[in-house]
């Protein structure tokens, strides 16, 4: 199939974009792209490629923008129930951390997810996965973390794998058993940490080896935060996970700076996420490392807070900067990367081009998939979106509606008006 007559084809070619390089869109005016067997096979100008491939079935982009599918490298996709009552409590003045320490918050979603059967969990998560795809996300990461015991943690990860198999959204799972201290371990957090290290991590590895033959291990993430896991607990879990061969991620500096970002950099984590309270030293440590700095602007927005990640400082310091939605029931029930980009431009000063690069090629680096997805380059998996607008700046400028008209996932075409 030859997609042709684009207004702009954004290739995002050349690999992840560090520091001030962020925002190189690789624009081909009147661009075209050849897709065969789910892979991009040629990229160029429409006039040239139409001549070169006269037999190829055509998809006319109608002078609209075409770019790589959006990548969302931080979601908590699989959970049961909702926390609308907590939203109301927060509006009345309670803080997220207050609600969490008084038994609500994550623990309340844990209760709902433990009692949900696998089909109900699957149905609830599937709706959200469909919605993400509808808004142009073609690949996402999905965390566990609403079980805090092995059975439910595995149940969540199984749902993520099932959704990945069903498609079209491609999903990379993360084990987040260290998301909160479960109520069973209320006054003995260190015992929970030891249990995670000695029991859960090896069990997750054994389970993964049984269910998945050819994929590398899932990520292991820790919520390093006041009221969750402190720096030494986070370090122990992450070092144990690393020793078992798991790639690492860290929830760091969301509400309080506990040192999680520097720890992520030091341990060679694939990403450090949130980074609202990160210091200059943390930013420097991330900039020097291979760890992607992932910012989640839907989270402060969802909490009605005014403080966002210091994105400009991160970019100026040379970080590999990416965006993600953080889709979750507590702080940000939003899996829409178009909206995420719109927030990033308004509250963190990104340009539309930077927001696009942070949501495609750099977001793919935050899940270790930069060689497979995130750009339109020969040999890469054919994940792309055709928008209903012709200029890339319309993305982020407009918000609240869906600018995606057509989604191509692994070479297969989906029209958004037939999806929802």
Q: Applying CB under 6 A, which residues contact ligand NIG?
A: 76, 105-106, 109, 223, 251, 254, 299, 326, 328-331
Q: How far is the CB of 76 from ligand NIG (least distance, A)?
A: 6
Q: How far is the CB of 271 from ligand NIG (least distance, A)?
A: 13
Q: How far is the CB of 329 from Fe ion (least distance, A)?
A: 11
Compare residues 271 and 375 and give the one whose CB is closer to ligand NIG: 271
Q: How far is the CB of 141 from ligand NIG (least distance, A)?
A: 12
**Out of ligand NIG, Fe ion, none, which partner does residue 308 contact, by CB within 5 to 8 A per kind?**
none
**Out of Fe ion, ligand NIG, none, which partner does residue 147 contact, by CB within 5 to 8 A per kind?**
none
Give the CA count within 13 Å in the CB-facing half-sphere of 10: 31
**Out of Fe ion, ligand NIG, none, which partner does residue 374 contact, by CB within 5 to 8 A per kind?**
none
**Out of Fe ion, ligand NIG, none, which partner does residue 223 contact, by CB within 5 to 8 A per kind?**
ligand NIG
Q: How far is the CB of 299 from ligand NIG (least distance, A)?
A: 5
**Out of Fe ion, ligand NIG, none, which partner does residue 299 contact, by CB within 5 to 8 A per kind?**
ligand NIG
Question: By Cβ distance, which residue is nearest to Fe ion?
Answer: 326
Neighbours of 306 (CB within 10 A): 8
Compare residues 274 and 380 and give the one whose CB is closer to Fe ion: 274
Phi, psi (rounded to 5 degrees) for 381:
-60, 135
Q: Please provide the DSSP assignment of 137-174 as one string.
A: EEEEEEE--S--SHHHHHHHHHHHHHHHHH-SSEEEEE
Percent composition of the chain: helix, strand, coil (DSSP 3-state, to 5) = 40, 25, 35
Alpha-carbon distance 76 to 89, whole Å?
22
What residues are paired with 229 via a beta bridge?
224
Question: By Cβ distance, which residue is nearest to ligand NIG?
Answer: 330
Residue-wise over 56-85: b if at least 16 C-beta within 10 A, else e? Answer: beebebeebbbbbbbbbbbbbbbbbbebee
Note the residues at the interface with Fe ion (CB under 5 A). Answer: 326
Compare residues 64 and 299 and give the one whose CB is closer to ligand NIG: 299
Residue-wise over 266-284: b if at least 16 C-beta within 10 A, else e? Answer: ebebbbbbbbbbbeeebbb
Compare residues 153 and 326 and give the one whose CB is closer to Fe ion: 326
Neighbours of 102 (CB within 10 A): 11
DSSP 3-state of 385: strand
Compare residues 66 and 344 and give the one whose CB is closer to Fe ion: 344
Q: How far is the CB of 99 from ligand NIG (least distance, A)?
A: 9
**Out of ligand NIG, Fe ion, none, which partner does residue 254 contact, by CB within 5 to 8 A per kind?**
ligand NIG
Look up residue 332 and give its DSSP letter: B
Alpha-carbon distance 86 to 94, whole Å?
9
Compare residues 328 and 338 and give the one whose CB is closer to ligand NIG: 328
Q: How far is the CB of 88 from ligand NIG (least distance, A)?
A: 15
Q: How far is the CB of 366 from Fe ion (least distance, A)?
A: 13
Compare residues 317 and 337 and give the one whose CB is closer to Fe ion: 337
Compare residues 6 and 257 and give the one whose CB is closer to Fe ion: 257
**Out of ligand NIG, Fe ion, none, which partner does residue 205 contact, by CB within 5 to 8 A per kind?**
none
DSSP 3-state of 305: coil
Alpha-carbon distance 406 to 102, whole Å?
45
Q: Helices in 231-360 by DSSP H: which ranges?
A: 231-243, 260-267, 280-288, 298-303, 311-317, 337-348, 352-358
Compare residues 87 and 397 and give the one whose CB is closer to ligand NIG: 87
**Out of ligand NIG, Fe ion, none, which partner does residue 330 contact, by CB within 5 to 8 A per kind?**
ligand NIG
Q: How far is the CB of 89 from ligand NIG (least distance, A)?
A: 13
Alpha-carbon distance 363 to 154, whole Å?
25
């Amino acid at each position: 199939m030859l997609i042709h007559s684009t207004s702009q084809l954004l290739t995002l070619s050349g690999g992840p974009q560090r520091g001030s390089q962020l925002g190189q869109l690789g624009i081909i005016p009147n661009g075209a792209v050849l897709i065969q067997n789910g892979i991009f096979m040629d990229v160029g100008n429409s006039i040239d490629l139409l001549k070169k491939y006269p037999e190829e079935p055509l998809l006319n982009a109608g002078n609209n923008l075409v770019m790589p599918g959006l990548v969302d490298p931080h979601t908590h996709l699989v959970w049961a129930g909702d926390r609308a009552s907590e939203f109301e409590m927060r509006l009345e003045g309670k803080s997220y951390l207050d609600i969490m320490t008084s038994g609500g918050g994550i623990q309340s979603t844990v209760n709902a997810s433990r009692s949900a059967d696998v089909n109900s969990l699957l149905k609830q998560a599937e709706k959200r996965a469909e919605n993400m795809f509808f808004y142009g996300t073609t690949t996402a990461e999905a965390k566990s973390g609403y079980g805090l015991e092995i059975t439910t943690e595995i149940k969540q990860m199984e749902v993520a794998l099932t959704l990945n198999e069903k498609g079209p959204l491609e999903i990379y799972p993360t084990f987040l058993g260290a998301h909160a201290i479960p109520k069973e371990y209320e006054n003995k957090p260190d015992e929970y940490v030891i249990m995670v290290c000695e029991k859960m991590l090896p069990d997750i590895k054994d389970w993964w080896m049984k269910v998945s033959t050819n994929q590398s291990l899932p990520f292991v993430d820790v919520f390093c935060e006041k009221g969750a896991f402190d720096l030494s607990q986070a370090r122990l879990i992450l070092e144990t996970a690393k020793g078992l061969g798991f790639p690492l991620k860290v929830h760091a500096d969301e509400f309080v700076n506990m040192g999680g970002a520097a720890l992520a950099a030091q341990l060679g984590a694939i990403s450090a996420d949130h980074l609202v309270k990160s210091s200059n030293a943390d930013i420097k440590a991330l900039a020097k490392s291979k760890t992607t700095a992932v910012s989640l602007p839907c989270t402060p927005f969802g909490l009605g807070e005014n403080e966002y990640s210091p994105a400009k400082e991160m970019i100026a310091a040379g970080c590999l900067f990416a965006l993600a939605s953080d889709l979750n029931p507590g702080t940000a029930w939003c899996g829409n990367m178009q909206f995420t980009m719109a927030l990033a431009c308004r509250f963190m000063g990104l340009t539309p081009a930077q927001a696009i690069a942070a949501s495609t090629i750099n977001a793919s680096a935050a899940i270790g998939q930069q060689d497979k997805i995130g750009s339109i380059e020969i040999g890469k998996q054919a994940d792309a979106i055709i928008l209903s607008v012709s200029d890339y700046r319309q993305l982020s400028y407009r918000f609240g509606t869906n600018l995606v008209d057509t989604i191509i996932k692994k070479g297969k075409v989906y029209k958004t008006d037939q999806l929802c």
